[in-house]
Structure 1
Amino acid sequence: MTWVAHARTLAREIIRPESRWHSALTEVPRHQFVVNWWEREGETWALRSGPADPPAWMATAYSDQTLVTRVGTSHADRARVGDVLPDGMPTSSSTLPSLLVRMYRHAMIGDNDQILVTTGSGYSTALACVRLGDNYVTSVDVDEHLVRTAQDRLGVLGLRPQLKVCDITGPLPGRYDRIMSTVSVRSVPASWLQALRPRGRLVTTIAGTGLILTADKTPDGGATGRIEWDRAGFMPARHGADYESPPADVWKQATETEGGQSYTSRYPLLYPPDAWDVMSMLELKIPGIEYHRHEDKGGLRTVWLLHPDGSWARADVADFLASPIVHEGGPRRLWTELEKIRNRLNREGVLPVYGARVAITPEGETTLTRGGWTATL
């Protein structure tokens, strides 16, 4: 089985050959880090096995797409055809290669920089090792299976970075010039600032948003930076086996009841994850919203917003040209807050999240500002 031609084609598609990341993309066999993966089939997940279909394995592994390797607590590596299929949200993946390169470039890594990265499948760790040398790379993940599996697969390639099992939002195992996280956080953990060396740089995304945050350490132990005009979304940092979800009764109310408030929206139906600036503004105001959507055979389209505090909203519309009927319940009016953001966008033509300045205290309090707008996480 030859993979080199596939890797070269992938590299050629996403980066120029004079980039120092180009050779890393051509030299790392991504398929060895994604042997099995989960793929959406309608409302369920299906297991895909690379060795069972080598041509499809090569085509998928060397495509510029994210491959889900864990759903809920179910690792694709441990699953077998015929097992009960997982039900839940993705909890680990192999990020699309072009985004990994973009995140590394935002980190502005020098040849002798010690860097901390997140493990996942191990593919991004391998890219960093080939680019810098494995003695400059530390890779961490909260999931012991992911760390051990990545360590074995890296070892087959002769790569031996430092790998540790740890919650990236807690104490870190060393000091670094760069921290590049492919899991998102609500605010920058104080432990990152403590682990960064003077003038060190961190790159991450804000949980639940499409916002890439870059910041450089300041002499007071905090950091300053900005929200990049580029955009990306990553899974939130996990602190255990799985994410918490809104209670089942919240979903039941959102599905079955008319709610405490009902009105006709002035705007077309929107699924917020399709509009990252809108979703990001809403997440900064009310963190932790979960989104769902569905279209039935009759063409009725529904979007749900759910929150762990019991707040929920449901919007339904059967005609693309009509305005949806909104139902809301719980302590906060989620769709009403969404409408306020859309009002602002309609009034001003742009939302202030991208390009915002970032100030981070030594304790990790993170504040975004642009013009007269501010948000503190």
Structure 2
Amino acid sequence: MDWKDQAAALAAAATPPGSRWREPIATTPRHVFVPRWWAKTRDGWDLRVGDADRDRWLAAAYRDWTLVTSIGGLHADHAEPGTRPKGSPTSSSTLPGLVAQMFRHASIGDRCTVLDVGTGSGYGTAVLCARLGDAQVTAIDVDPYLNEAAAERLEEAGYRPRIITADATGPLDWEGDRIAATVAVGPAIPASWLAALKVGGRLVTTITDTSLVLTADKQQDGGAAGMVQFDRAGFMRTRTSADYPPRDWDLLNVALDGEGEHVVRGRYPVLDVVSTWDVSTMLEIIAPGIGHYYDNREDGTRVAIMTHSDGSWARAEERDDKVTVHQGGPRRLWDYLDEVRDYWIRHGDLPFRGAEAIITPEGVITLRRGRWIATIGPG
């Protein structure tokens, strides 16, 4: 099957009928932007080389899923067969349905100038170019190689947008109507985004370690006003170098084995917090910066660990429906999680979806829904 037929099928799966993004997806050769990628297997990350199996290449490229292109700073373009990279994904080609979803939230009109935050593979930038034309599209990424490769592949697809190599959270050499991010920022919105947007312009982004999709329109005072959409998305967070800072393994090892200064019987079953998007989002709002580790052991024991850079940690172990919680350090992290679950049971919902969002010119976010108020960003 020709790639154009597969791209048309992808567009039909990734967008609703009548979407202005259906035709751009249907005419964008996604396989050009992912000639190599990393596939997750039981044994770790396996390298996939498109030219080695064209049918598999096209099947992967024109399926509505994310293709990881870089792990821990090692790009698939530079890897030898058999390489087993370690670390977290640091770049990808986002699933096209989510790309279209974020662009839809940005309310991009035909005359809008757009900053695509997170060039990545270049695929999302190509979709924007297919809709708007090169002159209205700028992409930014901190990684020089990502931008170099994306530029070459964009040109192969017939596009030459402007591409900036810089920290997207720092000063921006750009001014325009829309900022659409396929990376997560935070906790605050970069002040440079608000400075770069024209009054009435819109930004759409997710907040680091949450599933919040935030849209906001630039106001006369230099801030922005909008809302948290009734939607969910998760993206890699922005970074300032080839890889993310290393995890504090010393504290994690303490949490794995420590007796704890405070040991109690848990009130709720052990939870894989990261996989429970609404719970993890609410937890990040009220107690930002907690790291998580979860293990479902062969003997049936479920273990969840929480750590924070201030030295706080918690470990919950569930055996035979009995939960024991160990906590140490200056704060009781597991208590925050209990607070979130208490709120959900008491109110039947968590309050952030649909919340009004007010953003100061410095990027601090205030969320409000009914009587619930929360601030995201430095206070």
| Letter matched to residue 357 of structure 1 | E
Name the counterpart of 2:86. Answer: 87
CA contact (8 A) 2:46 2:82 kept: no
Match of 1:104 in 2: 103
Are 1:194 and 2:219 matched, yes or no?
Answer: no
SS in 2 for 1:255: helix
- Structure 1 residue 61 corresponds to structure 2 residue 67: no
Q: Are 2:159 and 1:159 equivalent residues in the alignment?
A: yes
Indicate the SS of the match to 1:56. Answer: helix
- Number of the residue aligned with 1:31: 31
Q: Equivalent residue for 2:16? A: 16
1:179-258 counterparts in 2 under 5 A? 179-186=179-186, 187-258=188-259
Instruction: State how far apart, in whole Å, the 2-side matches of 1:246 and 1:314 are.
Output: 17
Query: Are the equivalent residues in 2 in contact too, given 1:214–1:227 (CA < 8 A)?
Result: yes
TM-score normalised per structure 2? 0.95
CA distance in 1, matches of 2:148, 2:173: 17
Contact 2:203 2:216 (8 Å CA) reproduced: yes
Q: Provide the secondary structure at the position in 2 that maps to 1:368.
A: strand
Deviation at 1:42, TM superposition (A): 3.0
TM-score (norm 1): 0.95
Residue in 2 that maps onto 1:339: 338
* 1:107-166 Cα distance to aligned partner (Å, 9 max, x none): 001111100002011000000000111110000000111000000000111100000101
Q: Which moved more, 1:70-79 or 1:8-17?
A: 8-17
Q: Matched residues in 2 for 1:86 and 1:355: separation?
A: 39
Equivalent position of 1:301 in the other structure: 302
Instruction: Extract unaligned runs of 5+ from structure 1.
Output: none
Measure, in 2, the Cα distance between the counterparts of 1:103 and 1:374: 25
Greater alpha carbon shift after TM alignment, 206-215 vs 331-340: 331-340
| 1:74 alignment counterpart | 74
Secondary structure, aligned partner of 2:149: helix
CA contact (8 A) 2:314 2:327 kept: yes
- Any gaps of 5 or more consecutive residues in structure 2? none
CA root-mean-square deviation = 1.5
Which structure 2 residues correspond to residues 35-50 of structure 1 after superposition, within 5 A? 35-42=35-42, 44-50=44-50
Alignment coverage as a number of residue pairs: 374
Structure 1 ranges of 4+ moved more than 4 A: none
Distance 1:131 1:215 in 2: 22
Alignment check: 8 A CA contact 2:4 2:26 kept: yes
Q: CA deviation at 1:170?
A: 0.6
CA offsets 1:318-347 (integer angstroms, 9 cap, x no match):
44xx14322222222211110111011111
Residue 285 (str. 1) matches residue 286 (str. 2): yes
CA distance in 2, matches of 1:194, 1:328: 43
Change (3 A) 1:328 1:44: farther
Secondary structure of the residue aligned to 1:168 is coil
Counterpart-to-counterpart distance in 1, 2:329 and 2:39: 34
Q: 1:257: how far off?
A: 1.8
| Mapped contact 1:92–1:120 kept (Cα < 8 A) | yes
